[in-house]
Amino acid sequence: MSDINKLWLIVKREYLVRVRKTTFILATLLTPLGIGLIAFVSGYMASSSMSGQKKIVLVDQSGILNEEDLTNSQYIYTKSKESLKDLKESYATKGFDLLIEVPELTDLKLREHTVSFYSTDKLSLVSLEQIERRLSRGLKKYKVSQSDIDQETLDQLEIDVKLKNAVSAGDEGSTSDSSSRMSIIISSVLSYIMGFLMYIVIFVYGSMVMRSVMEEKINRIVEVVISSVKPFTLMLGKVIGVGLVGLTQLTIWLILIPTLLTIVSMTMGLDTAATSNDAAEIVKQLEESDQFNLTQVIDEISQLNWLLIIPSFIVFFLGGYFIYSSLFAAVGSAIGDDLGEGQQLMMPIIIPVILAFVMVPAVFNDPDGPIAVFGSTFPLFSPIVMPARLPFDPPLWQVLMSMAILIGSVIFMTWMAGRIYRVGILMYGKKVSFKELGKWLFYKG
Amino acid sequence: MSILSLRDVVKQYHNHTAVDHISFDVPKGKIFGLLGPNGAGKTSLIRIITTITMADSGDVILDGEPINFDHPSQIGYMPEERGLYKKMKVGEQLIYLAQLKGMPRKEANRKLKQWLTKFDILDWWDKKVEELSKGMQQKIQFIATVVHDPKLLILDEPFSGLDPINTNLIKDEIDQLNKNGTSIIFSTHRMEQVEEICENIVLINQGKKVLEGNVSEIKEEYKDNLYRIEFKGKLNADLKQDNFNIISDTDDELIIKILNDENPNLLLKQLLDSGIEIRSYSEVLPSLNEIFIKIVGDADSSNAQSNL
């Protein structure tokens, strides 16, 4: 029987054994459910705190505040003529949550003004800040009205500066400003997500390969298996099988997580719409402000160079997985049953992964800087750094060169790992040093 | 005609020579003993035969062809350290291992069911290996080794860890397979197990071959011309001592060494005349263990002398 058939058998076994495990099924299904649940709970809490209006009674002897200016959907202010002393006794029974007393503003030049409040409940930091902001605004309005400046002049004094990339706008012609702040934010977020995904994939599935190698060695089944297939075939089958497990899990998550989040946001949306219009109002506010424009976000996302990003990401994803999981397999074969000793051998694998991940912020601070270019070319870093660089439209020749180097390294690394693996799996009861591993590379058959 | 021939095989690990210029032939259709103490190089040798490792030099010929990666499907190998996937079900695991040996799935399924039925363990099919006792796992391992009808079966310490009942069961199966034409290499350090089973042996020590040949011929060659006489009565002490040497003498048993290639009938004649009632008269052949100790001891002492 040919090696390919045997490889296929091994891949099939490695895949099925893992996919059928209860722990795998639970992790695959519970992770999206957990994320959905967290989204639901936080959404629910946000909406419930929003719908829980607070009634505030205001004692404002000098009459400097206007209750209409203060009131919003969450806090309803009512001015009262009663004395503070009476209200202190009765505000709760009259149905108010909070009593606020604003003393007279004696000097218009004062930059601080202390206001007292009385409440049976403890106020959250957020509520305190919101009330403070409202009162500040009211007092500012009062100060303006008492001065010579009219509100209109004051408004005209404010100005925002926006930097716009004139070069790329001119180049591309079609889009107004493709390197706007928004596109940089979106690219950075995407960059971070892709870098992080690679980081997780390498560690989670790489160590899965390692454990699987160790298990076969400790079980001693390995000698039976390699009397039927070449050790390299066994190692490769394992790497591919576990890789497919990873792809299965990621695909399920990629489908389930957005689906669940959509369901959650839809039910939440209905929920809040029933009680109040606040959520819609907030979204509307956000959309109106320049900071966060939903249509602009979608627009920017669709303008990313997906034709480059998606295929390249797949290449770097597979390349990174193969390089690191075969290294993990080599280490697993050398460890045997002493995990403590394995930690030391794992260091040379863990360090480059962490280094590469640390480079990611440097990449989106300076996508064409020396760190980004080096990191996205060196094959141990490029599987993490290049995907992080992809949203920033790196030069095509650099991407292709990096891919070529990566593919070459994958072949070299799996070959090297295979040499270590075939010696390691038959080696028992011996503490292995790096020097020893180096020697294994040159052992004959 | 030999199923397996080794010619001048050498395997070196970086600090020692595990297999040192070893040559021998395994006759087709016979049970062959690969003997030697622990660490003699048996496992290294077996790994070369099973294509797990490659010899540094020398030739390994399986059934007329130099060993290559098509051969594993014709070999069944049960390592000394047994191992199965603990979390896998028995049936699934056996089918997987049989498929790796090149059997089609259907045929593997049919044959395995036959084997399990034969051992009366068909109801283990859906059990996980970790649920089985050690002895049960050994049976599964044995089935995994033989299910693809190998031409050459290599068993490394097949009886270690087995109780007497299972030992006999496996012994019977080995005999049965041998009768059906399978050549078997039986590797062990327990030489007494081999005498009854194997026709031919090779004995290795410290990576070198010390002895090779037919078990009865070897015994013949290394015998000390000892005879055991079981008797009743009182022995008159005046046996003619020129050609005989009394090694031990108890109330009902004598062990006598015949010197100068004297005919054993002569001794018997004298004994018949000596007034005792003879119960048995038999030649004492050395055990392989004794032969091994004798050879290795000699080699050691000659080594020691050359070191002086």
**H or E stretch covering A34:** helix A22-51
For residues A214 and A236, give the distance between their C-alpha atoms in angstroms, rounded to a whole number.
15
A224–B72 CB contact, under 8 Å: no
Domain that holds residue B167: 2-219
State the smallest CA–CA distance between residue B140 and chain A in angstroms: 13
The pLDDT of residue A415 is above 90: yes
Question: Which of B50, B53, B84 is opposite residue A221, by nearest beta carbon?
Answer: B84
Q: Quick check: is B302 in a domain? A: no
For residues B92 and B251, give the distance between their C-alpha atoms in angstroms, rounded to a whole number.
63
pLDDT at B238: 61
Q: Quick check: is A161 in a domain? A: no
Chain B residues in contact with A7 (beta carbon < 8 A) = none
A228 and A375 co-located in one domain: yes
For residues A37 and A264, give the distance between their C-alpha atoms in angstroms, rounded to a whole number.
8
A117 and A184 co-located in one domain: no
B83–A9 CB contact, under 8 Å: no
For residues B50 and B156, give the distance between their C-alpha atoms in angstroms, rounded to a whole number.
12
- List the single best residue of B43, B45, B51, B52 to mutate versus A (max A Cβ within 10 A): B52
Q: Quick check: is A163 in a domain? A: no
Q: Using pLDDT thresholds of 50, 70 and 90, give the confidence band for residue A78.
A: confident
B83–A219 CB contact, under 8 Å: yes
pLDDT at B96: 96
The total number of structural domains in chain A stands at: 2
Question: Which of B53, B72, B88 is opposite residue A228, by nearest beta carbon?
Answer: B72
Average of per-residue pLDDT values in chain B: 86
For residues B273 and B275, give the distance between their C-alpha atoms in angstroms, rounded to a whole number.
6
Q: Quick check: is B295 in a domain? A: no
AA letter at A3: D
A9–B69 CB contact, under 8 Å: no
B215 and B240 co-located in one domain: no
Q: Using pLDDT thresholds of 50, 70 and 90, give the confidence band for residue A164.
A: low
B109 and B185 co-located in one domain: yes
**Sign of the dihedral defined by the CA atoms of residues A375, A376, A378, A381, in that order:** positive
Q: Among A67-76, A109-118, A274-283, which is the least confidently predicted range?
A: A274-283
Q: Quick check: is A328 in a domain? A: yes
A305 and A226 co-located in one domain: yes
Give the pLDDT mean for B53-82: 90
B72 and B92 co-located in one domain: yes
B78: domain CATH number?
A: 3.40.50.300
Contacts for A72 with CB less than 8 Å, ≥ 6 apart: A134
A58: domain CATH number?
A: 3.40.190.10
* Nearest by Cα to A218 from B81, B285, B213, B221: B81
For residues A414 and A408, give the distance between their C-alpha atoms in angstroms, rounded to a whole number.
10
The pLDDT of residue A85 is above 60: yes
Q: Among A180-189, A406-415, B172-181, which is the least confidently predicted range?
A: A180-189
The answer to whether the CB of B210 falls within 8 A of the CB of B203 is yes
A445–B96 CB contact, under 8 Å: no
Nearest-by-CA chain B residue for A212: B85
pLDDT at B16: 82
The pLDDT of residue B65 is above 80: yes
- List the single best residue of B13, B15, B49, B99 to mutate versus A (max A Cβ within 10 A): B99
Question: C-alpha dihedral over B209, B215, B220, B226, to 10 degrees?
Answer: 110
B177 and B91 co-located in one domain: yes
Contacts for A117 with CB less than 8 Å, ≥ 6 apart: A98, A99, A100, A101, A123, A131
Q: Using pLDDT thresholds of 50, 70 and 90, give the confidence band for residue A391.
A: confident
Q: With a CB-CB cutoff of 8 Å, which residues 229-258 of chain A face chain B?
A: 229-230
State the smallest CA–CA distance between residue A228 and chain B in angstroms: 5
Average of per-residue pLDDT values in chain A: 82
Q: Quick check: is A155 in a domain? A: no
Give the pLDDT mean for B50-62: 90
Question: C-alpha dihedral over A220, A225, A227, A230, to 10 degrees?
Answer: -120
Q: Quick check: is A156 in a domain? A: no
State the smallest CA–CA distance between residue A29 and chain B in angstroms: 22
Q: Using pLDDT thresholds of 50, 70 and 90, give the confidence band for residue A172.
A: very low
For residues A231 and A212, give the distance between their C-alpha atoms in angstroms, rounded to a whole number.
14
A254 and A122 co-located in one domain: no
The answer to whether the CB of A381 falls within 8 A of the CB of A356 is yes
pLDDT at A285: 53
Give the pLDDT mean for A416-445: 82
Percent of chain B at pLDDT exceeding 90:
41
Q: Quick check: is A387 in a domain? A: yes
Domain that holds residue A99: 53-143
Q: Quick check: is B155 in a domain? A: yes
Domain boundary among B174, B195, B219: B219
- Interface membership of A426 toward B (CB under 8 Å): yes
Q: Quick check: is A160 in a domain? A: no
Q: Using pLDDT thresholds of 50, 70 and 90, give the confidence band for residue B194.
A: confident
Q: Using pLDDT thresholds of 50, 70 and 90, give the confidence band for residue A50.
A: low
pLDDT at B202: 92
The total number of structural domains in chain B stands at: 2
**H or E stretch covering A283:** helix A278-288
B47 and B81 co-located in one domain: yes
Q: DSSP letters of A99-146?
A: EEE------TT-S----EEEESSPPPHHHHHHHHHHHHHHHHHHHHHH
A288 and A405 co-located in one domain: yes
Q: Quick check: is B109 in a domain? A: yes
Other CB atoms within 10 Å distance of the CB of residue A311:
12
Q: Which residue has the higher pLDDT, A152 or B43?
A: B43
The pLDDT of residue A410 is above 60: yes
Domain boundary among A143, A161, A191: A143
Domain boundary among A143, A165, A189: A143
Q: Quick check: is A244 in a domain? A: yes
The pLDDT of residue B91 is above 90: yes
Domain boundary among A124, A143, A162: A143
Buried residues in B181-216 as b, exposed as e (16+ CB within 10 A): ebbbbbbbbebebbbebbebbbbbbbbbbbbebebe
The number of C-alpha atoms within 13 Å of B166 and in the hemisphere containing its C-beta is 17
- Return the beta strands (E) in B104-215 as ranges: 152-156, 183-188, 200-205, 208-214
B252 and B189 co-located in one domain: no
For residues B54 and B47, give the distance between their C-alpha atoms in angstroms, rounded to a whole number.
8
For residues A377 and A255, give the distance between their C-alpha atoms in angstroms, rounded to a whole number.
32
What would the pLDDT profile of A325-353 be if each residue is shown by its tens digit? 999 999 999 886 666 777 788 888 999 99
* Nearest by Cα to B67 from B45, B84, B86, B82: B45
Percent of chain B at pLDDT exceeding 70:
94
A224–B50 CB contact, under 8 Å: no
B152 and B57 co-located in one domain: yes
Chain B residues in contact with A216 (beta carbon < 8 A) = 83, 85
Nearest-by-CA chain A residue for B150: A228
Give the pLDDT mean for B95-118: 94
Q: Quick check: is B45 in a domain? A: yes
**A439-443: long-range contacts (C-beta < 8 A, 24 or more apart)?**
A439/B14, A441/A416, A443/A419, A443/B14
pLDDT at A419: 92
**H or E stretch covering A412:** helix A396-424
B160 and B207 co-located in one domain: yes
A276 and A423 co-located in one domain: yes
B168 and B246 co-located in one domain: no
Q: Using pLDDT thresholds of 50, 70 and 90, give the confidence band for residue A167.
A: low
Q: Quick check: is B59 in a domain? A: yes
pLDDT at B237: 60
B10 and B119 co-located in one domain: yes
A23 and A66 co-located in one domain: no
